[in-house]
Amino acid sequence: MSGHEQRYIKEAFDTNWIAPLGPNVDAFEKEIANYVGVNEAVALSSGTAAIHLALSLLEVKNGDRVFCSSLTFVASANPILYQGAEPVFIDSEPDTWNMSPQALEKALVDASIEGKLPRAAIVVNLYGQSAKMDEIVTLCNEYNIPIIEDAAESLGSAYKGKPSGTFGEFGIYSFNGNKIITTSGGGMLISNNGEALQKARFLATQARDQAPHYQHSKLGFNYRMSNILAGVGRSQLAVLDERVEARRRVFDRYYDELGQLPGLHFMPELTDTRSNRWLTSLTINEIAAGVTVKTLLETMADENIEARPVWKPLHLQPLFDGATYYPHSETENVSEQLFHTGICLPSGSNLSEDDQKRVIQCVTSAIQLKVR
């Protein structure tokens, strides 16, 4: 916490603005929109809700296709199923670990030939790193495919000077408890399309018609953020830049101390981009390092250090069994390789240097012991 959350929470209680509307909600939306440089933002109950509303606004319906990054958390793709649509998963590429323009182009060409282009493409910015948006935007524009930029993990990152989340028709952020800033639970839908976001507010409040009684002509959702949580978000947003710097310092210490160990390769940062380094992630070459991801995770757990594997690609998830998937190339399946070799180290903004040194010592000892 920033230390100033209670001021906004007290204000909400003192003025009796407890429901999912109020001054904090209005201000938080304006402050996020100003921070990233878009026209409007809508505060919601989660990043997943934001993706769902974006798909609804794009009129994705039963039987439609939606392209989606495969190397991501399941929340990126679940809303596709909410709409009864068919997910088509796109592999990663090695420079960013994000959606492969090469695989995306192949998928678009095939869909065009088949006469069934996707209604939307959900592009995820993994672990704070922006995808190759120039190439992806160019391809999607060529086929007139709207982009939903899933920047749940990348608030505070930038691609060629432009804030993450602002490249598509819609962008989404998450304020879940593990994100770089949090409202405990919450999300934000952003766009330069003010008319669409007004409709998003309508849909997010159960699509209640303008009438003196409760009347509903469209299917709506209970997706608005509470005024209390929006107050927490306002306080958090004020320290976002500090959090980004803290995460980048954590990454730099790991890189300086572990970067020379055999077989370790850190998630790259694309030229002309700036990652918030939400999580410090790296891959392990089992032969060179002499240790597997599984063994290293177990070794760290024995020392009461929690680390995680990289996301399991969605095309490998039982939920999406049988879904169409486009690899980076005929010989490269990048997302699967990252899943099998990747690890995420403790990366919290409040991670002390002493605790980080303990993580570094544990990793170093495990690898040096095996190499010997």
- Residue spans per domain, the chain: 5-240, 241-371
Question: Looking at residue 372, what is its pLDDT?
Answer: 47
Question: Looking at residue 221, what is its pLDDT?
Answer: 94
Question: Looking at residue 368, what is its pLDDT?
Answer: 77
Architecture of the domain made up of 241-371 = Alpha-Beta Complex (3.90)
pLDDT tens digits for range 25-72:
999 999 999 999 999 999 999 999 999 999 999 999 999 999 999 999
pLDDT tens digits for range 243-267:
999 999 999 999 999 999 999 999 9
Its pTM surpasses 0.85: yes
The residues with which 189 forms a beta bridge, in sequence order, are 42, 172
Residues of the chain with pLDDT under 70: 369-372
Q: Show the tokens assigned to 165.
A: 């989340």
Q: 122: closest CA among 142, 104, 97, 96? A: 104
Question: Looking at residue 370, what is its pLDDT?
Answer: 56
User: What is the rounded distance in angstroms from the CA atom of residue 140 to the CA atom of residue 121?
Assistant: 8
CATH code of the domain occupying 5-240 = 3.40.640.10
pLDDT tens digits for range 122-153:
999 999 999 999 999 999 999 999 999 999 99
Q: Show the tokens assigned to 239.
A: 């320290």
**Beta pairing, strands 120-124 & 147-150:** parallel
Amino acid at 267: M
